[in-house]
Amino acid sequence: MSEKSPLRVAVTGAAGQIAYSLLYQISSGYVFGDDQPLILHLLDITPMMGVLNGVVMEIQDCALPLVRDVVATDDPAVAFKDIDAAFLVGAMPRKEGMERKDLLAANVRIFKVQGQALDTHAKKSVKVLVVGNPANTNALICSHFAPSIPKENFSAMTRLDQNRAKAQLAEKAKCDSVDVKKMTIWGNHSSTQFPDMSQATIKGQAASGIINDEAWMRDVFVPTVQKRGAAVIAARKLSSAMSAAKAASDHMKNWFSCTPADDWVSMGVFSDGSYDTPAGVMFSFPVTIQNGKWSIVQGLNLSDFAKEKLALTGKELCEERDEAMVVCLA
């Protein structure tokens, strides 16, 4: 059988800590398949080119059978040339004394430039996953400045939150996380996100019936998932990296193929107003994927508690969008 032609896969923030785990997972075949050759396009900022060179040396030293070439650059035009997939991980980190507003403004500028470069240089079929924070609003801005690429080709990562939630449910129910399905993260990848276990199943049975502890769900489960990132920083003195890379890999793996018949995944995607969410923001929904195309799961019953949480996280996303647009148009 003839070999598949290589996929061009861009990773930004390629000298950073998430990329350090992510690059191996992509290169090993986990994401795009173990018969899919790859050309890696690695982007970072100019001062990081020395470090990035070290990462390229390590990729070479892995002698990975699927990696056919590596392009390392500080120029988005080169990084995004003819790419099929983009993991936009690179972002400005929060520095001491920095207000949330300043962080948003700095990142909006980065994602405006990257959106413009994707528009000009990437394939129109490119699938773009934004990991760098604030991920949902960065994805929105990126898409806004790449009008020739369909809006459904942009998404923001909430898969880490979904994976964290599955792990918490599995621990509580004394099962494996693979037994937990249909776990939903609604809204923003921030502390306003709503991890919703009401539709989740454990070995095919309703998780809420198995756990049967409403107070635990509200007072332990939801805040634990919402604050897990901060708990990892407190323990590791560094933010989540291995688990973030795994989640980014899971997200893109499903997006390039499908979701199993008995499961769905959570992705930040363009809201069409489903479930009374604000249309036009990047809102995390439960989605199913067929042949590389996602659709929002419809017809779920939401409790008043859930509706309240969705309204709160939707309001935050609208505020972020409005602030971001002011920066972009300035």
By CB under 6 A, name the binding residues for ligand NAX: 12-13, 15-19, 43-45, 48, 89-93, 110, 131-133, 135, 157, 160, 189, 239-241, 244
- Cβ nearer to ligand NAX, comparing 92 with 225: 92
- Cβ nearer to ligand NAX, comparing 202 with 222: 222
**Candidate list 41, 144, 189, 251, residue with the active-site label:** 189
By residue count, the chain amounts to 330
Type of residue found at 261: A
Q: 296 has which bridge partners?
A: 287
Q: How far is the CB of 95 from ligand NAX (least distance, A)?
A: 11
User: For residues 73 and 43, is the Cβ–Cβ distance under 8 A?
Assistant: yes
Q: How far is the CB of 215 from ligand NAX (least distance, A)?
A: 27
User: For residues 224 and 168, is the Cβ–Cβ distance under 8 A?
Assistant: yes
Q: How far is the CB of 20 from ligand NAX (least distance, A)?
A: 8
Rg (CA), the chain: 19
Q: Any catalytic annotation for residue 41?
A: no
Q: How far is the CB of 235 from ligand NAX (least distance, A)?
A: 14
The rounded distance, in Å, linking the Cα atoms of 268 and 266 is: 7
- Cβ nearer to ligand NAX, comparing 134 with 314: 134
Q: 130 has which bridge partners?
A: 88, 156
Type of residue found at 139: A
Q: How far is the CB of 79 from ligand NAX (least distance, A)?
A: 8
- Cβ nearer to ligand NAX, comparing 71 with 210: 71
DSSP string, 209-253: HHH--HHHIIIIIHHHHHTHHHHHHHHHSS---HHHHHHHHHHHH
- Cβ nearer to ligand NAX, comparing 13 with 286: 13
Q: How far is the CB of 101 from ligand NAX (least distance, A)?
A: 16
**Whose structure tokens read 């018949």?**
261
Distance of CA 165 to the CA centre of its chain: 15
**Whose structure tokens read 């291995």?**
242
Give the pairing type, strands 85-88 and 7-12. Answer: parallel
Structure-block tokens of residue 193: 């996100």
Residue number of the CB closest to ligand NAX reads: 16
DSSP H helical ranges for the chain: 17-28, 49-61, 76-79, 100-121, 135-144, 159-173, 207-211, 214-216, 222-226, 228-236, 242-255, 304-329
Could you list the active site residues? 189
